[in-house]
Amino acid sequence: MATGRTIRSASASVSFRASKYLRDERDIAAYLEAMLEDGEPRVVPVALRTVADAVGGMAVLTERSGLSRETLYRTLAATCSSLHLRRHHGRQP
- Please state the φ and ψ torsions of residue 63, each to the nearest 5 degrees: -65, -45
**Do 61 and 52 touch, CB atoms closer than 8 A?**
yes
pLDDT tens per residue, range 60-69 = 888 888 988 8
Q: Is residue 9 part of a domain?
A: no
- Please state the φ and ψ torsions of residue 36, each to the nearest 5 degrees: -75, -35
83 CB-near residues (< 8 Å, 6+ apart): 36, 39, 40, 41, 44
E strand spans, 27-68: none
Q: Is residue 77 part of a domain?
A: yes
Which domain covers residue 68, as residue numbers?
18-89
On the question of pLDDT at 21 being above 90, the answer is yes
Model's pTM, two decimal places?
0.60
Angle at 24 between CA 71 and CA 68, to 5 degrees: 15
Q: Is residue 6 part of a domain?
A: no
If you compute the radius of gyration of the chain from its CA atoms, what whole number of angstroms results?
A: 20
pLDDT tens per residue, range 28-38 = 999 988 988 87
Question: Into how many domains does the chain fold?
Answer: 1
